[in-house]
Structure 1
């Protein structure tokens, strides 16, 4: 009987990324995969599961199709502001509020 291959999303595209979930709490790792599937729907697919040799840790490999809109929704626009733009411009003072 032919072995069925796991669902995979196209990692070769600019929007496809690999996600690794790994930890010693097997149930928590599985729960994280389920939460990601609920959050991302068809854009998230588990591609493999592997137990460590001592069977004390679980590693789940997955694919995720993502774009900047997804990232902005998850993290908020503030997370995407380049660090150099957060400093006050020359001549704008020391950045403290109030007083003169």
Structure 2
């Protein structure tokens, strides 16, 4: 059986602003994260290098602690993509992302299959 996308969370990141990618406003179907496997893609739409941060927390956490970060100032090459797969997550878990400059699209795909 092949995987299919059950939900998509997407955001155009503001510079130096921590964004909860999994907020319902960023959800394609208005639902929170459900348990399963996820794929994170960060796309640099500019011609300059940008650094990015990624944190993953359990449900009920409003801001990540330093221990929650899985990427810290990771380089995102000009016109490049940072892809992380698989990311196992539980119900209601949250993904936070931050970019050092404007021009980054963040997408989290919830895969089921």
TM-score (normalizing by structure 2): 0.29
User: Which has a greater percent of helix?
Assistant: 1
Question: Which protein has greater RCO, CA pairs closer than 8 Å, 6+ apart?
Answer: 2
TM-score (normalizing by structure 1): 0.32
Which has more radius of gyration?
A: 1
